[in-house]
A and B are shown apart, each in its own frame.
Chain A
Amino acid sequence: MSVIEITGLRKEYRRMRGGTTVAVDGLDLSVPVGGVFGFLGPNGAGKTTTIRCLLGLVRPSSGQLSMLGADVQRSLPSVISRVGSIVEAPAMFPRFSGRRNLEILARIHGEADIAIEAVLERVGLRDRAKDLVKTYSLGMRQRLAIAATLLRDPALLLLDEPANGLDPAGIVEVRELLRSLGAEGRTVFVSSHILSEVQQTADHVAIVAKGKLIKAGPVDEVLATTTGNGILVKVADLEAGRRALANANIPLTMVNDAIRADVPPADSERVSRTLAQAGLYVTELRPDTVDLETVFLELTKDQGVGD
């Protein structure tokens, strides 16, 4: 069962001087219920436009979108109370206090003050709730925005780059929060271009580039689509090590101050034994696993990403 279903989504923007820019180009996407779903892509890939289409902020040029079983273009109001969202930078009134910002939003759905206190506590802003938002750091504003999304006890969260601008501690906090929300049975749809973050948080990912879906599925499945893993080995004499491994028909590449044996991590013993038999003792040996960034770059290299 899908919590978000997108079919053939296309969004064109008219340019001021004529012509059109295609932000999303026939995107098909299915997001399963529960857990954290990473929506990955470089800047300009169409991530934010897709989220805006889902929230009814932007009218799609064509395509179908459904969220929590409701057609977005026809029945969004019927499900919006179960959706929490942050689109790009968290937008709050800077001259209101954090609590007042939440009170204004909470009244729209008749949420009680107790809910405000609970979400402030959850994002760690209770002590600063009376302060004006303009005095908040970017990380605090981000946490306030997350608190606002939690006010409605949502079944689905759409978070656009929630770790943007956060310091390392803030990133860890947000990561933990997203994990816990996903573990509660909610679906957390999080767009990001910080791939290492998503890899640590998400259960499923979708990679988009130039408005098109490149790859989607469980994280492990997506990682397995690339050329494979290897083993990084360090020895005192790198050249002797390279010769020994080559003589044993172990494929390899030289990387900086190490040798990368292009074999599965399960072959570590064979690599180690080969080197030992040549009188070379390893000072370091570890799996050189493929990360999401590598996969992403490999999958999008034909899409001109980074142009």
Chain B
Amino acid sequence: MRLLRSELLRARSRRLVPMLIIGGLLGIVVGMGLTAIYGGEASDAEIATAQTQYDKDFAQCMKGRFLEHGGQLDPRYASLEEFCRDANAPSLDGAQLRDLDLIVQGISTFVVLLGTLLGASLGGADWTNNTMTTLLTWEPRRARVFFTRALVVVAFVGVITLFLQVVFSAAYWLVAVTRGTTLFLPTHFWTDVAATVGRVSAMGVALGLVAYVIAMVGRSTVASLGVLFGYLVLVEGVIAGFRPTIQGNLLVRAASVIVSQQPILDPTRELVYYGSGVSGAVANPPILMDVHRAWIVVAVYLIVLGGLSLFQFRRRDVS
């Protein structure tokens, strides 16, 4: 516990932490400012038009036209009506609060990058400053140091990413209220947004931990970021391009599936459609990675990389 308190103080004192928070807040202010400038409150006529179109689409939906997967209702919905209220979006200009969930998914790349940067720095800074030697002369139990640091990464990345996303969501709500619309919200809107925010933070933490354990092996922040960038380009880009079936085992792909809740389909297998137009659907889609598998992939990466990192941290000399 004492070591944890010491590590929290050390992490809190890092200049990078306020820099990332201030940078994130500035980004939110600029983004929301632009949205407010280019947006505008919808007129009554525009809302009425959108409502008419929405009612029309809703009626179509209630006939079962938009159902997928063999015409089965998604088990998350209690009724067809509930599904149709979510599936149909009225078309209006300006900031629409109902888009918040998708926007949060859209900014997840930045949030996860922030987590990665923080994790790499919390793992690598001590090696760069040579303070790992000092720390280990105070606490020679290396496994304890390793896990405490990991806990600090989880706490800091989790809290900071949650904070920034909550601020972002609040700012977007404010812009939607003043320069857009808060109409046409789906049934579980705030629950879904909260779940997405939580998943994005969880992936920020996961990637932060991966960056941390790599930094502990490479004994440098730059090495960690370099390895992750190389992995992203080489494995997730080039190799996955040549052999698409390995996508079901890749870390960043898994994180993306978890955030979006959309499975990755096997591009090498032909899709079998039935129906036509907007009601067309895929029969038994060939899924490479569904959400359940994505969580397992992320967990396996963490356990394997973490185990290797801990093993070498305990074995290698510190000089």
Contacts and interface: CB of A to CB of B under 8 A. Distances in A.
Interface of A: 52, 55-59, 76-77, 80, 83, 85, 87-96, 100, 103-110, 148
Interface of B: 2-3, 5-6, 9-10, 13, 15, 125, 129-131, 133-134, 136-141, 315, 317-319
Given A58-B317, A58-B319, A104-B9, A92 B2 contact: no
A77 B18 CA distance: 34
Query: Chain B contact residues: over half helix, strand or loop, or mixed?
Result: helix
A39 to B, nearest CB: 17
Nearest to A97: B13
Nearest to B144: A77
24 contacts: A52-B318, A56-B136, A57-B133, A57-B137, A57-B318, A58-B319, A59-B317, A80-B137, A89-B130, A91-B133, A92-B129, A93-B10, A95-B15, A96-B13, A100-B9, A103-B9, A104-B6, A104-B13, A105-B134, A105-B138, A108-B2, A108-B3, A110-B2, A148-B134
B136 A57 contact: yes
Contacts of A107: 2-3, 5-6, 9
B161 to A, nearest CB: 24
Contacts of B130: 89, 91
A44 to B, nearest CB: 14
Given A104-B9, A107-B9, A91 B3 contact: no
Contacts of B9: 100, 103-104, 107
Given A57-B319, A58-B319, A59-B317, A77 B141 contact: yes
A96 to B, nearest CB: 5
A118 B15 CA distance: 28
Contacts of B13: 93, 96, 100, 104
Nearest to B141: A77
For A91, A92, A103, A110, which residue has the most chain B Cβ atoms within 10 angstroms?
Answer: A91
Given A104-B6, A107-B2, A108-B139, A92 B317 contact: no
A92 B129 CA distance: 7
B133 A109 contact: no
Contact of B129 (A55, A57, A93, A109): A93
B131 A58 contact: no
B234 to A, nearest CB: 25
B10 to A, nearest CB: 5
B140 A52 contact: no
A109 to B, nearest CB: 7
B140 A92 contact: no
Contacts of A110: 2
Given A57-B317, A59-B315, A104-B10, 12 more contacts: A52-B319, A55-B136, A77-B140, A89-B130, A90-B134, A91-B133, A93-B10, A93-B131, A107-B6, A107-B9, A108-B3, A148-B134
B318 A92 contact: no
A96 B17 CA distance: 13
Contacts of A109: 2, 138
A89 to B, nearest CB: 7
Given A91-B130, A94-B129, A107-B9, A85 B3 contact: no
A11 to B, nearest CB: 9
Contacts of B137: 55, 57, 80, 83, 85, 87
A55 B140 contact: yes
A105 B6 contact: yes
A55 B132 CA distance: 13
B128 to A, nearest CB: 10
A91 B318 contact: no
A242 to B, nearest CB: 54
A274 to B, nearest CB: 58
A83 B129 CA distance: 22
B9 to A, nearest CB: 5
Contacts of A91: 129-131, 133-134
Nearest to B136: A57
Contacts of A106: 6
Contact of A76 (B129, B140, B318): B140
For B2, B130, B138, B319, which residue has the most chain A Cβ atoms within 10 angstroms?
Answer: B138
A208 B264 CA distance: 65
A103 B13 CA distance: 11
A67 to B, nearest CB: 11
A80 B138 contact: yes
- By Cβ-Cβ distance, the 9 closest A-B pairs, closest first, are A107-B6, A91-B130, A58-B317, A57-B318, A56-B140, A108-B6, A91-B131, A108-B138, A85-B137
A157 B131 CA distance: 18
Contacts of B319: 52, 57-58
A66 B122 CA distance: 33
Contacts of B318: 52, 57-58
Contacts of A96: 13
Contacts of B139: 77, 80, 108
A85 B317 CA distance: 17
A92 B134 contact: yes
Nearest to B16: A95
Nearest to B8: A107
A247 B317 CA distance: 64
